[in-house]
Amino acid sequence: MRGAAKVLSAAEAVALIPDGATVAVGGFIGSLHPEKLTAALEERFLATGGPTDLTLIYAAGQGDRDARGLNHLAHEGMVKRVVGGHWNLAPRLGKLALENRVEAYNFPQGVLCTLMREIAAKRPGVFTRIGMNTFIDPLHGGGKLNERTQEDLVTRVRLGEEEWLWYHSFPITVGLIRGTTADRLGNITVEEEGLIGEGLPIAQAARNHGGLVIAQVAEIVDRIADPKSVRVPGILVDAIVVVDRTDPAQWQTFTDAYQPAFATTASPGERPQLPVPEFSERKVIGRRALREIPDGAIINLGIGMPEAIGSAAGEEGKLDRFTFTVESGPIGGVPASGLNFGCASHPEAIIDQPSQFDFYDGGGLDFSALGAVEIDQAGNVCVHRMAGRFAGVGGFLNIAQTARKLVFCCSFTAGGLKVRGDQGALKILQEGRHCKFVERLEQVTFDAAGAFERGQEVLYVTERAVFRLTPEGLALIEIAPGIDLETQVLALMPFRPICGQVAPMPAECFRV
């Protein structure tokens, strides 16, 4: 008969992780990230020098852009290889990659969380067109982030009449996951979490490869009354670490101990109250992009500038005209922002992350708005790298290559831009130091030519101009009232967009 699950301290649990293990860590920013375990693993390494030569795999970014999350594992010698979806939240890992001190790969978040299911089933990997003709395509680098990274983990293959990308499976031998409650047999629930995540495929993958699964939870109970609420069965769990709810390492997110709205649906008639931001270029972009969302649409908004669309929808009373989704699993409600991103206030449903990406990859999104670091004259976009750091693609590629309608949101210039609304017009108080539009990208995250093959409609919305993707390149279709076309748009761009009939942007976008 199976006995009670093994309950250990965090230090005792991570002491079981051997040198050379392939460690999969679950979580989304801070949600469902097993912070106590990653911190204990760092403490063990600093005290003893072990474990060494780990391979780290994770889907969503996990960190606070400082020291928490996967930043705990950013030590040379501790980690030899990192396969990750998003790097910006773990700059210490990114520094190791930039300095060529670890092997480093960047693959789409949706590919990686579904790859964990394939690894669990001992299938050869994920076959998809996500990433084709981008820096992840083996024809353009294979997602390798530095010279030290040599092994090919993605291959172009022909299946039938089409070419596909094959992301290779490899054994996972340690799984670090988190939940809310465990029973005496090790069954795990997530009732106080804002997400379900990918804990199940991580645990199945490690178990099926003869490895180790450690689960961090808030409490242990004698039994879980509803077996359908169990998200990770106890047969997969080797050790449980209990962390008190008041400990920030067990908080629902990195900033909130517990937000009931992230784990509950709204009461009948309850409407979310969003803060109304001050006038800025973000507000203009959010208002203009909002006008592109069709009624009844299922949508996704990226982190950063696209979040302004939610604020604009709340201000204009349009939140009930479409359904928000988040790549981490929430459906309905209103997406949270900052270090709470990934959760949603009062969602109507939450599904696991791999299933959400199955929906996205199959074309389930009617509309998405995403950010952009740079845009070239062909309409290609880069988001995965910035000056001096790797940002990573996260869920960007899964979304950008499959949404029916796509709007890229960014300021026209960056680095000190200041604007003011002036009676339905825009006034530039201080110009940004550099233009977001470039003649040619060094590396491509979004392939504009592929958008035509997929039949996507693509717009690029800034505070002073709106562009449309055409087969011939970017076409300028709108300019803000109060902006001079020649001196404040064309003179700042290193190429001349197609300029046919240019309409004014709606004056209501600039009301103060």
- Indicate which residues carry an active-site annotation: 327
**What span, in angstroms and rounded, lies between the C-alpha atoms of 24 and 115?**
11
CA dihedral (272, 307, 354, 13) positive or negative:
negative
Enclosing H/E stretch for 14: helix 10-14
Q: 347: cis peptide before it, omega within 30°?
A: no
Distances (CA, A) of 453 to 10, 300, 366, 457: 50, 22, 17, 11
Residue 84 has which token pair?
Answer: 């990750």
DSSP designation for 144: B
**What span, in angstroms and rounded, lies between the C-alpha atoms of 42 and 69?**
11
Phi-psi category of 359—alpha, beta or left, where left has phi over 0 and alpha has psi -120 to 50?
A: alpha
Backbone angles phi, psi at 220, to 5 degrees: -120, 135
Q: Which residues contact 355 (CB under 8 A, 6 or more apart)?
A: 329
Q: Which residues contact 338 (CB under 8 A, 6 or more apart)?
A: 255
Distances (CA, A) of 326 to 141, 344, 360, 382, 484: 29, 8, 10, 21, 38
Residue 261 has which token pair?
Answer: 């709205």
